[in-house]
Amino acid sequence: MKKTPALAAAALAAGVALFFFLARRGGEKDAAIVRLVSEAVSRGDVVSTVAASGTIEPDELVDVGSQVTGEIVAFGTDASGAEVDYCSIVTNGMVLARIDDVTYLADLDVARAQHANALAAVSAAKASLRKAEVDAAHAAKDFARARAVGVGIALSQSDWDASEAAAESAEAQVGVAAAAVKQAEAQVVQTRANVEKAERNLGYCTIASPVDGVVVDRRVNLGQTVVSSMSVSSLFLVAKDLRKMRIWASVNEADVGSVKAGQNVSFTVDAFPERVFRGVVRRVRLNATLSSNVVTYTVEIDVDNADLTLLPYLTASVEFETKAERGALVVPSRALRWSPEGAAPPPAPEGARTVWVDSGDGAPPRPVPVRVLLDNGTGAAVEPLRAGDLAEGARVVVRAEAVQPAAAKSAAKGSNNPLLPKMPKPPRRNNGGGGPR
């Protein structure tokens, strides 16, 4: 014959009551008393997180360098009129430093002189071309007259040949002169480029800020020689806007699958341990890093730093919010794992869990089947299977403790251990010579 759920629940309640009755009463004088430890059910948020650590960086960090070699001879002035230094506020185009420009001024003068020389050469080449054209025209007229007279008594064959050769030679000279003009004009283009290059190098002697921002780092001093090479020398680090920061967090490959763009992030820094900051995942970089056989991915997190509290390069302890239940009934996770010894859970749908509610009046705890919405290991968001079975403020059992009556009595009266120091008795008060009352 099958038992109905009502009979099963009644049998379970009777078994639990018998268990606690025997545990509390005991068969001997010093039998253990079971004391239930419970915690209140609250209403709040349960969040499942993935932990990581990272470094706070300015959202846009500009590395200002130098493309020329030379000695630092001066620094510019910042927005407050002071010399550019750490934490200076600068604007786009503001002078940060100046490099000795004597050599570059000389190079510019040489380039300009060469350009002027090339322009003069063009004029000379054009004049030569004009002369060649005149000579060619004169030679052509002479040869035309020779052709009109013809070879005979008036014009010998040698004179005819000489006139023809002179005309052809003059025509060829025109071509040579035209080529010289083009060569001179090409030289002008080259020298103009040299002038522009020299002007640009001279301009590089003045180091200007490319953005509005704050100087995070100044890496040179007065008198220091900047050497330009294949990689641009770094002189200043300028943060474009410290009100927008970014965290570069290293996430283990086992957890990176739970991290998505747009997720909410909470983090703390050692500089402000009492404050919890918020951010949003910007993106997960695809280039992984392998270190000691551990694969990690860099995750970028956007952070609003409107109050300028966060400083660059602080270490952040990050928690990515992968799942969340808001405004749910929250019980300690330990309550889901506790049940009376030897008691079977009540009948419930598959996947349901049981918490035991302590009424506090000495009666056995009452089993309440619940559906677990989210458990982060500390607290669990739950929903009772039957409405009204569990409410905010109810106390759920998290563990049971065995207390010996003799030990409790000894603790209440004080210990008689002879090894413990004896406290002196207070002196008797004098009531005016009349003796104790």
Beta strand ranges found along 128-252 (DSSP E): 206-208, 213-218, 225-226, 233-239, 244-252
User: Distance (Å, rounded) from C-alpha 328 to C-alpha 297?
Assistant: 33
Instruction: Quick: pLDDT tens for 347-390.
Output: 778 889 999 998 877 788 889 999 999 998 899 999 999 888 89
User: Distance (Å, rounded) from C-alpha 62 to C-alpha 101?
Assistant: 24
User: Distance (Å, rounded) from C-alpha 21 to C-alpha 339?
Assistant: 16
Q: How confident is the model at residue 171 (pLDDT cuts 50, 70, 90)?
A: confident
Instruction: Quick: pLDDT tens for 300-335.
Output: 999 999 999 999 999 999 999 999 999 999 999 999
What average pLDDT does the segment 233-252 reach? 92
Residue 31 has pLDDT above 60, yes or no: no
What average pLDDT does the segment 287-307 reach? 94
What average pLDDT does the segment 188-212 reach? 95
Number of Cβ within a 10 Å radius of residue 170: 20
Residue 281 has pLDDT above 80, yes or no: yes
What average pLDDT does the segment 217-235 reach? 84
